[in-house]
Amino acid sequence: MATPFRYRRQVQFAETDAAGLTHFSCYFKFMEEAEHALWREAGMSIWAPASGVGFPRVSATCEFLAPLHFEDEFDVLVRIETMARRSIRYACEIVRGETRIATGSMTAVCVSKGADGMRAVEIPAEIVQRLSAMSDQ
């Protein structure tokens, strides 16, 4: 994805800790929210029960560079770094204006959700096509 998808957000009070900083676990939530917004922008939902597939995380990283506080407005920039046959790796950057707050990545694997549990499967062609179209923007 040449140009990252931009998701705007504001820190909520419940997302802060006793020191008034955004709790570290929220950064992963912010990245996931941006991923879901990217899918909606592509005309899909990452949770489509009828599709028979899901995208659990197999890896997530975050490097914290600067703090976020209650009511700070910020953007999460997400782009598809790689899309393999069965997995998608996202690169994320959280920014407040010109300040880099955090960088991270997430890798999700496409799995079938059958009665026998989950197993890795190829990403359906429609999903590949729609996400690839987003990558070309």
The CATH number of the domain holding residue 110 is 3.10.129.10
pLDDT of residue 115: 79
Q: How far is CA 41 from the centre of its chain?
A: 13
- Indicate whether 1 pLDDT > 60: no
DSSP 44: -
pLDDT of residue 107: 98
Residue range(s) defining the domain that contains residue 55: 5-135
Torsion of CA 13, 77, 130, 132, to 10 degrees: -160
Looking at the structure of the chain, the number of domains it has is 1
Q: What is the token pair recorded at 131?
A: 């996400």
Amino acid type, 126: E
pLDDT of residue 74: 98
Reference 5, options 44, 30, 34; nearest CA is 34
| Separation between Cα atoms, residue 107 and residue 90, nearest integer Å | 6
